[in-house]
């Protein structure tokens, strides 16, 4: 892929500093934890901008706003084990001082693992001792506060409780300290990565077309997003097993979100509405979509802003337009038109409306020339009843379709033989329908097989649904597991290189057929890493 933008983003690295010490007496002046207790300290380090390996070159991009890396609150939840049945041993809310270091604090010394939640949202529950990890990590179904312009929620990047051995398996436990001084020694650090809980999407547009169409006024929005999220989502390998810089244990770049294995929830349905946010044509008609301008090609920080969303992944079987997060792109697409005499014209209607009739492009004026020409030839043919009038018949079926929807139009009567009505009279009847057709606006009339007959483009606006790809395309992957989806702490750049075909005149709706008792001291250090960076190019 051409990577004409070079970007680097920020993720999060969380580091817990620990070491064992059974000495209950300590050195002179040292504060020794009481029986059953231990010390803990937290310190925040500067964002890490080192480069690694991923799908883009370079594969990371630093944060584009301070809020993407800012840590306002740290909540540490400790457990007595590593699996779903492990229970909470302690919960601490940590406030950092001006030097980004917390005062040491006590934690239960039967703690073996830890979940870090940075910038917890307002809807994040308060947990208490004795609750199992399965309860703490249960799907949260309202997510507006995990990604705002003010702060970003962050949790363990591993996709499970920490600390871990080099192969990702659980460590023996958290080494705890009875000595406050020992807890604060930086050399006892245990590194744990932390990710933002959201994905980041940007769109770049090149206004080019191999079909010599006029392309203008592109804008976009992320569509079909997840309403649910896990505080910590399990990692898994994709079909390609793509390596990413922050998958330090080699567990995989893909994730399993709460809707990952939903066994094909039907659309439309109440269950689908409960789990996904998505747009329809009604949202366009109601002007309820906040469209985003594309980013500037040479300076991505100019132009439109990025959009954040909860991660949304799926099984291979669910790689369809019903379950895959997309970019909904709209642009004005104005083609050239072939007249009845075979010549080409780029003259547009004043309102820029045009139609696709059986794959050919027509303004209303150009279509009227075709109707007049087809009817003239029909009535001078030796078999007028059998003469095929492709454009006339297709558009008349569209009028019948609109009439059935209550539009102020009516189907035109076309006699099979000459002499019943003049061509001029019939052409005038078609001309008289224009006001009603224009007033009705964008629509699509389909045949019995579901194939479009007439597509009406209001103001020349086309809509494109671009499924966001997580893994790169290769000759060995075709709609495979992990090819599509958005994953937390990953940034997806969609680069639209050209518009070679019109999109759809209305928004395409989701389509399933388209695929403790004791406490101990613990020291913790946290740092912020770049986003993992993916690039996707599209010729539409």
Strands (E), 224-365: 225-226, 234-236, 254-256, 276-277, 307-310, 326-334, 337-338, 344-345, 354-357, 360-362
What is the average per-residue pLDDT within 509-519?
Answer: 65
The string of pLDDT tens digits covering residues 293-335 is 998 877 776 777 889 999 999 998 888 889 999 999 999 999 9
Band of pLDDT at residue 192, cut at 50, 70 and 90: confident
Cα 530 to Cα 491: distance, rounded to the nearest angstrom: 10
Higher pLDDT, 9 or 142: 142
Higher pLDDT, 16 or 101: 101
Crossing angle for the helix pair 423-432 and 390-404, to the nearest 10 degrees: 40
Crossing angle for the helix pair 364-380 and 423-432, to the nearest 10 degrees: 150
pLDDT, position 160:
94
Query: Which residue ranges does the chain devote to CATH 2.60.40.3690?
Result: 201-331+465-514
The string of pLDDT tens digits covering residues 86-132 is 999 999 987 766 655 566 678 888 999 999 998 888 778 889 999 99
Tokens of 206: 């090149």
Crossing angle for the helix pair 364-380 and 390-404, to the nearest 10 degrees: 120
Tell me the CATH number of domain 12-198+518-539, given options 1.10.3470, 3.30.70, 2.40.128, 2.60.40. Answer: 2.60.40
Higher pLDDT, 215 or 180: 215
In the predicted structure, residue 8 carries a pLDDT above the cut 50: no
pLDDT, position 223:
95
Report yes or no on whether pTM surpasses 0.75. Answer: yes
State the CB neighbour count (10 A cutoff) for residue 450: 7
Band of pLDDT at residue 268, cut at 50, 70 and 90: very high
Cα 350 to Cα 436: distance, rounded to the nearest angstrom: 16
Q: Which CATH class is domain 201-331+465-514?
A: mainly beta
């Amino acid at each position: 892929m051409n990577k004409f933008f070079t970007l680097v983003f920020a993720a999060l690295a969380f580091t817990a500093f620990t070491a064992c010490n059974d000495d209950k007496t300590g050195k002179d002046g040292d504060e020794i934890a009481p029986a059953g207790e231990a010390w803990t300290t937290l310190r925040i380090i500067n964002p890490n901008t080192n480069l690694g390996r991923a799908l883009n070159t370079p594969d990371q991009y630093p944060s584009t706003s301070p809020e993407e890396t800012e840590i306002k609150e740290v909540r540490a939840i400790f457990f007595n084990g590593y699996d779903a049945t492990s229970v909470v041993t302690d919960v601490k809310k940590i406030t950092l001082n001006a030097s980004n270091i917390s005062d040491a604090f006590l934690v239960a010394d039967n703690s073996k693992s830890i979940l870090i939640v940075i910038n917890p949202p307002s809807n994040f529950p308060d947990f208490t001792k004795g609750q199992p990890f399965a309860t703490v990590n249960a799907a949260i179904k309202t997510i507006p506060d995990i990604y705002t312009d003010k702060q970003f929620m962050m949790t363990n990047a591993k996709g499970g409780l920490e600390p871990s051995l080099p192969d990702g398996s659980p460590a023996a436990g958290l080494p705890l300290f009875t000595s406050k001084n020992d807890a604060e020694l930086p050399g006892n650090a245990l590194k744990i990565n932390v990710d933002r809980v959201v994905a980041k999407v940007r769109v770049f547009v090149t206004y080019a077309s191999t079909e010599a169409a006029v392309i203008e006024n592109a804008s976009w929005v992320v569509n079909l997003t997840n309403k649910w999220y896990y505080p910590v989502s399990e990692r898994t390998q994709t079909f390609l097993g793509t390596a990413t810089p922050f998958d330090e244990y080699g567990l995989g770049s893909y994730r399993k979100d709460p809707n990952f294995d939903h066994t094909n929830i039907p659309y439309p349905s109440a269950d689908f509405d409960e789990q996904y946010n998505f747009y329809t044509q009604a949202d366009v008609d109601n002007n309820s979509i906040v469209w985003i301008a594309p980013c500037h090609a040479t300076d991505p920080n100019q132009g439109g802003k990025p959009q954040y969303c909860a991660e949304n992944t799926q099984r291979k079987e669910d790689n369809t337009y019903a379950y895959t997060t997309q970019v909904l792109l709209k642009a004005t697409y104005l083609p050239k038109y072939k007249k009845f005499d075979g010549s080409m014209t780029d003259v547009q209607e004043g309102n820029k409306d045009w139609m696709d009739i059986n794959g050919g492009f027509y303004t209303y004026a150009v279509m009227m020339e075709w109707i007049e020409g087809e009817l003239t030839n029909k009535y001078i043919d030796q078999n007028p009843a059998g003469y095929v009038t492709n454009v006339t018949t297709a558009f008349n079926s569209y009028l019948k379709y609109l009439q059935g929807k209550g539009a102020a139009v009516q189907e035109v009567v076309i006699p099979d033989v000459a002499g019943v009505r003049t061509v001029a009279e019939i052409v005038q009847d078609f001309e008289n329908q224009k006001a009603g057709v224009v007033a009705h606006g964008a629509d699509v009339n389909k045949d019995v097989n579901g194939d479009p007959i007439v597509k009406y483009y209001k103001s020349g606006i086309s809509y494109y649904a671009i499924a966001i790809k997580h893994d790169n395309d290769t000759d060995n992957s075709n709609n495979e597991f992990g090819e599509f989806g958005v994953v937390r702490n990953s940034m997806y750049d969609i680069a639209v290189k050209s518009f070679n075909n019109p999109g759809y005149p209305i928004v395409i709706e989701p389509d399933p057929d388209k695929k403790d008792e004791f406490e101990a001291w613990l020291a913790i250090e946290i740092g912020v890493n770049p986003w993992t960076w993916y690039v996707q190019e599209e010729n539409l």
